[in-house]
Structure 1
Amino acid sequence: MADPLDSGDDIFGKLQKGVDPKIQEEKDKLRNEREHAQYEKARRRLGELIQDNSTLPTTISSIRVIGAPNTRKSFLERIFNPILSVNHDRPYTLAEAIREVSIGADKLNRLDIFHEPISLYLDRPPKTDPSTTPTDIDIYLTVREKSRILLKTGTSAGNGEGEAYTNLLLRNIFGGAESLSVNASLGTRTRSAYSASFESPILSNPSLRLELGGLASSTQKTWSSHEEVLRGAWTKLRYLTPNGSKHELAYNAIWRQITSLSPSASPTVRHDAGDSLKSSLTHTWTLDLRDNPMLPTRGTYTRSLLELAGWGPLVGDVAFAKTEIETQAATPVPIPGLNGISFTTGLRAGLLYPLSLNRESKPRPSRINDRFSLGGPTDVRGFRLSGLGPRDGSDALGGDIYYAFSTNLLFPIPRVPLDTPFRFQAFITGGRLLALDKKGANQNEKVGNAVRELVGNGWPSVAAGVGLVYAHPVARFELNFSLPLVVRRGEWGRKGVSFGVGISML
């Protein structure tokens, strides 16, 4: 049957050359609507057929992935062979077969080497094949591989720094979803940063990955009158649990150097200048249940970090246990007639506990390289970078124990659609950062004194403000006006406009 939308084309073409763009646009629109309606009708019909026959005995005779010429067959077989009926002691039901294959298709999606969506087709084997049974089905998964090479260059600005960067990503290098990422950047504060990492799923499991990497960077820390040079390597094992928890176990070996001291550098900074080697094990646990990591309106986020350096079989010349925890919660604010308003609150806290390098020596005081820093557009807004905590003259020294908090009220911008990632915000934020008391008989006593000082001796430093938020899929951008309300002696507040960019903002 002829397409009714095309029935007059020949006649119209005889009357004049070409087609009126408006007429063609309308025809294309009608054709797309018709095709969409046909697709939806076929999808509903398929759903009805599956539902009506969901309990029928079914055996999966084969699973074939079409459109993956650069992916190893053995890699794909490790995902789908366990699903084949020959490896089970009873037939599936049709619903069970589709569920199992969908789980395998989801694994393909999470490998990040195929475009979405992945199409799934069911077919009966030829009846002339004597090896088949009436319950057999063949399953076909149609995929489209992503580009194996991705190169990105650009510039960015935020947190008082501008930079130019180049990122190169090589996907599916050996046909097993391996990736090689190479990054290079030059900036006003991070003068140079180079890193490379190779990542591969283990046993074709996208939830279990191994990463090897290395870095070299040079960063000016003007708030502490020095430049920090890093050279090192790491090994990471990542695991994603069925409930969404992410675990990362890593070993890091980093050579650090505090160099290029300014003439006005304080005695404390000069004392820590020179080389040090950190060898450490870290474990990071993350559970993100927010509806949007950059602009959440509901849900919770929890992250914990534990690092052990220079203890037991680990080498290096620094030794400590370092723990940090962060939590965030978001909830919509129901106001009649007003939609899109949400309230978020966040809390971070951390402790650095110095250890001895061997059992005979006393714990060494922490170094400026390893201490926490607090203050700036991504945590305690309304204060300068590293504006909170101990100082020696004009130099920020960091601290061994801290907490920081933030409460944010986000509401939509008038005449801007709710589905756009722009919001106004009003916030109150604050925190405290302390060094462990050098006095005291032992480390436990020093930590106890610091905790009592942290929570029981006066107000924390606090600031309030308003601003504009843009939640890009890669990072969150904020333009804020902040007003320090409580500034403890020696700390550096910052009244006025600030611009911040971050992946995880308090």
Structure 2
Amino acid sequence: MSTPIDAQGLQTILDNSLTPAAIRVVELHGARYTRRSLLDHIFKPLVETGSNPNCTLGDVVSSISTAQAKLSRLGIFVEDSFRVFISDARKDVSVHPERTDLDIAFNVKERSRLALGAGTDFGNTEGSAYTNAELRNIFGGAETLTVNARTGTRTRSAYNAIFSAPINGNPDIRLAAETQRSSTQKPWASHEENLTGAGLRLDWQKADNGDTHSIAYSSIWRQITGLLPSASPTVRADAGDSLKSSITYTFTRDRFNRAAAPSPTLPQSGYLLRAVSELAGWGPLQGDVSFSKTEVELSTASPLPLPGVKPTSGISIGGGLRMGLLYPLPFGFNLTGSAMPSRINDRFQLGGPTDVRGFKLGGLGPHDGADSVGGDVYAAGGVNLLFPLPRTGPDSPLRFQVFANGGRLVALKHKGKSKQGQGDGDPLRIDSGAVRRSVSSAVSELASGLPSLAAGVGLVYAHPAARFELNFSLPLVMRRGEEGRKGLQVGVGISFL
């Protein structure tokens, strides 16, 4: 008798979950182009469970669920094609009369090995049009080759190719090799940046809690070019070529309850923690820039119960906090040598419709004339209150929001200039003591006085692909040289402060 794991079959299994069981055969149907060695990694734990003398029917079902989840995460099978059948195997009842021997059959359908696509995409501060081609399961081991080309509102052109494959058949650990080339306009700093590079990346995810980790090495040739006639001396000083060789580690813990939200881009409860650390040019790393750079982001959301209002009304309060520090380092393995000041294409930018609303893109922090030249230390935070629009209800992706946000962006002001360049032949170099004093001074300045602040109201539409905001903003506190944005401001992105 064959029992599919549907609602009726699941109830039968639950009623007999403590029954001793063993697995005699495991079969997979429909994996025409997938290697046996990959599938062995998926089904080995299932077979081991079924050979345990103390195994029960409940243990078998749990192992089947784990194997099916792994098959799904490989990304090479159609999601709604999975079918699992459990059959009583023919046996000699005189051997183990108290145990049920089972035959397990998985039915799957492989996704198309070639996929072509075109469309529009939205990232923070930019919309773009793209075309891509994806080759799946190239050698039968869930390998993927993706080639992408795009152009956007700021990106003149961008091309990249990524080849990735799971390690030892584990869908939660993937190794990827990437090449890229792009040309992006930076109107807030009167130039264009061209990037050409390649890298390796190892991604892994904890299956039990969903935490994701990534460690990547990249070597990128950067060009600051296409300077406008109005470009400031700071931008002109950094113009030209530079080579960055770096290692980056990223940790992400996403505990937002997106399944219960009106849209994945508008979670109503939970939190998100992300940390990114980059080391460039130090130790064995090459290139002509050397620094450590760290950013931390925390976002939260919670339903807001009001007197006389149901908890499921769709009213929620959210908040976010972001901080970052760029620390110049000496080249090589020397921690006490002299370092070069940071470049404009490595420093942080702050301000715009997706982080500190009420300010122009790059409107906060140091400026040279009309150019935003970035900073080395920053902190920004915000809070917003979301209400469903009248007659829409809590399940609608439309919201009315009231928000307040602010931030500070500070550049290192290197002291001890009389010591610059000693023994290095470069007058721009700063000794390690001066770097420490500059960082300490910048952090102190960050915490002194009010941050630049803005408040406002607006409409939010949470599309599954991106979040759209139309806000009326009013800058409340603004420092000299910073550029506020009073009035209407449109924001499109996937991550907002």
3-state DSSP class of the match of 2:171?
A: strand
**Partner of residue 244 from structure 1, selected from 197, 201, 210:** 210
1:31-110 equivalence runs, <5 A: 43-85=6-48, 88-110=51-73
> How many Å separate the matches in 1 of 2:19 and 2:154?
65
**Partner of residue 313 from structure 1, selected from 284, 288, 296:** 284
Which residue pairs with 1:442 in the alignment? 434
Which residue pairs with 2:256 in the alignment? 290
Name the count of aligned residue pairs. 465
Q: Could you say if the C-alpha distance between residues 268 and 84 of structure 1 is closer, same or farther in structure 2, counting changes exceeding 3 Å?
A: same
Q: Deviations over 1:117-139 (max 9, x none)?
A: 42221002234899998632011
1:104-503 equivalence runs, <5 A: 104-117=67-80, 118-127=82-91, 135-155=100-120, 161=126, 163-241=128-206, 242-292=208-258, 294-335=265-306, 336-338=308-310, 339-358=313-332, 359=334, 361-440=337-416, 441-456=433-448, 458-503=449-494
CA positional deviation for 1:88: 4.3
> Which moved further from structure 2: 50-59 or 447-456?
50-59
Q: Deviations over 1:135-157 (max 9, x none)?
A: 32011122222233332223467
Q: Deviations over 1:51-97 (max 9, x none)?
A: 23211111111221222222222211221023214884524111001
> How many Å separate the matches in 2 of 1:154 and 1:223?
27
- AA of the residue aligned to 2:301: A
CA positional deviation for 1:361: 4.4
> How many Å separate the matches in 2 of 1:408 and 1:148?
44
User: What residue ranges of structure 2 are gaps of 5+ in the alignment?
Assistant: 259-263, 417-432
Contact 1:250 / 1:282 at 8 angstroms: preserved in 2? yes
CA positional deviation for 1:289: 0.3
3-state DSSP class of the match of 1:446?
A: helix
> Which moved further from structure 2: 150-159 or 359-368?
150-159
Q: TM-score, normalising length from structure 1? A: 0.87
CA positional deviation for 1:426: 1.4
CA positional deviation for 1:391: 0.8
Contact 2:23 / 2:51 at 8 angstroms: preserved in 1? no
Q: Could you say if the C-alpha distance between residues 423 and 271 of structure 1 is closer, same or farther in structure 2, counting changes exceeding 3 Å?
A: same
CA positional deviation for 1:43: 4.4
> How many Å separate the matches in 2 of 1:166 and 1:212?
20
Residue 505 (str. 1) matches residue 496 (str. 2): yes
Q: Deviations over 1:2-40 (max 9, x none)?
A: xxxxxxxxxxxxxxxxxxxxxxxxxxxxxxxxxxxxxxx
Q: Could you say if the C-alpha distance between residues 415 and 147 of structure 1 is closer, same or farther in structure 2, counting changes exceeding 3 Å?
A: farther
> Which moved further from structure 2: 496-505 or 303-312?
496-505
- AA of the residue aligned to 2:117: K
CA positional deviation for 1:170: 2.2
> How many Å separate the matches in 1 of 2:251 and 2:129?
31
- AA of the residue aligned to 1:285: F
- AA of the residue aligned to 1:473: P
CA positional deviation for 1:467: 1.8
- AA of the residue aligned to 1:448: S
CA positional deviation for 1:475: 2.1
> How many Å separate the matches in 2 of 1:42 and 1:111?
21
- AA of the residue aligned to 2:217: Y
Contact 2:194 / 2:222 at 8 angstroms: preserved in 1? yes
- AA of the residue aligned to 1:279: S
> How many Å separate the matches in 2 of 1:162 and 1:104?
38
Q: CA RMSD in A?
A: 2.3
> Which moved further from structure 2: 376-385 or 139-148?
139-148
Contact 1:61 / 1:85 at 8 angstroms: preserved in 2? no
The percentage of counterpart residues that share the same residue type is 55
Q: Could you say if the C-alpha distance between residues 272 and 344 of structure 1 is closer, same or farther in structure 2, counting changes exceeding 3 Å?
A: same
Contact 1:62 / 1:139 at 8 angstroms: preserved in 2? yes
3-state DSSP class of the match of 1:103?
A: helix
> Which moved further from structure 2: 125-134 or 312-321?
125-134
Q: Could you say if the C-alpha distance between residues 414 and 105 of structure 1 is closer, same or farther in structure 2, counting changes exceeding 3 Å?
A: same
Q: Could you say if the C-alpha distance between residues 44 and 396 of structure 1 is closer, same or farther in structure 2, counting changes exceeding 3 Å?
A: closer
> How many Å separate the matches in 2 of 1:423 and 1:266?
41
Q: Which has the larger radius of gyration?
A: 1
CA positional deviation for 1:301: 0.8
3-state DSSP class of the match of 2:436?
A: helix
3-state DSSP class of the match of 1:326?
A: strand
3-state DSSP class of the match of 1:318?
A: coil
- Compare relative contact order (CA 8 Å, sep 6+) and give the higher one, 1 or 2: 2
